[in-house]
C-alpha cells in the first residue's frame, strides 16, 4: 500500500520505526486494549492484524477507527460489544490506530 492510502500519520509512524511501535504497544497496554485484543490472534475482540486487513486501503480508515474506539459499539466483529473509550486522548488513539493499521 502506498503512504498516500495509509495516511500521513501512518507514514510518519512507519518512518519513526521501532520507537513508535514500542510507544503504541505501551499505550495499548496502558489503556487495557490488550485485555481483549492481541496482535495475531482473536481473544474477545479481533486480532489487530485482522483489523488492519479489514481496513486496508480504505480512505480515512484511521479517522474511522479512532471514532469507533472512542465511541465503542458492536456488530462489526460480532455481538460482543466494545466499550467506549472517551478517556483516551485523540493523540493517543491516533498513535495506537496508526500502529494497528500498519500491521501485516
Does the structure show a pLDDT above 80 at 14?
no
Residues 91, 12 contacting (CB under 8 angstroms): no
Per-residue confidence band for 15, with pLDDT thresholds at 50, 70 and 90 = low
Which CATH number belongs to the domain containing residue 35 in this structure?
Answer: 1.10.760.10
Question: Which run of H or E residues covers position 65?
Answer: helix 61-71
Q: Write the pLDDT tens digit of every residue in 64-103.
A: 999 999 999 998 898 999 999 999 999 999 999 999 999 9
Q: What are phi and psi of 99, to 5 degrees?
A: -65, -50
- Share above pLDDT 90 across residues of the chain, in percent, rounded to a whole number: 70
How many independent structural domains does the chain possess? 1
Taken in order 81, 26, 55, 89, the sign of the CA dihedral is positive
Q: Residue 92 sits in which domain range? A: 3-102
Amino acid at each position: 500500500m502506498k503512504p498516500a492510502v495509509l495516511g500521513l500519520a501512518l507514514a510518519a509512524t512507519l518512518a519513526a520505526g521501532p520507537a513508535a511501535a514500542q510507544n503504541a504497544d505501551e499505550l495499548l497496554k496502558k489503556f487495557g486494549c490488550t485485555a481483549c485484543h492481541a496482535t495475531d490472534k482473536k481473544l474477545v475482540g479481533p486480532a489487530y492484524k485482522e483489523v488492519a486487513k479489514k481496513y486496508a486501503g480504505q480512505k480515512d480508515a484511521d479517522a474511522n477507527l479512532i471514532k469507533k474506539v472512542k465511541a465503542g459499539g458492536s456488530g462489526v466483529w460480532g455481538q460482543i460489544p466494545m466499550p467506549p473509550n472517551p478517556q483516551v486522548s485523540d493523540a493517543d488513539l491516533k498513535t495506537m490506530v496508526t500502529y494497528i493499521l500498519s500491521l501485516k
